[in-house]
Amino acid sequence: MRYLCNVCDWEYDEATGVPSQGIAPGTKFEDLPDDFVCPLCGVTKEEFSPAS
């Protein structure tokens, strides 16, 4: 699944992860660390919505 940041539209793709932040490919959104923030604008994961 993919999730979009509601603030800047950056996309988190579970298949890709965010290797630059130590998030391995295949990491489910709900399994992201509690302190995960958008790499572009810095908001928390509560500001993300499932991509359509």
For residue 30, the domain's CATH number is 2.20.28.10
**Structural domain range at position 41:** 2-50
Identify the pLDDT of residue 18.
Answer: 95
Instruction: Say how many domains are in the chain.
Output: 1
Token digits for 48? 């993300």
Q: What is the pLDDT of residues 1-52, one digit of tens each?
A: 999 999 999 999 999 999 999 999 999 999 999 999 999 999 999 999 999 8
Q: Is 22 left (phi over 0), alpha (psi -120 to 50) or beta?
A: left
Q: For residues 16 and 50, what is the distance between their CA atoms, to the nearest angstrom?
A: 15
| Whole-prediction pTM | 0.91
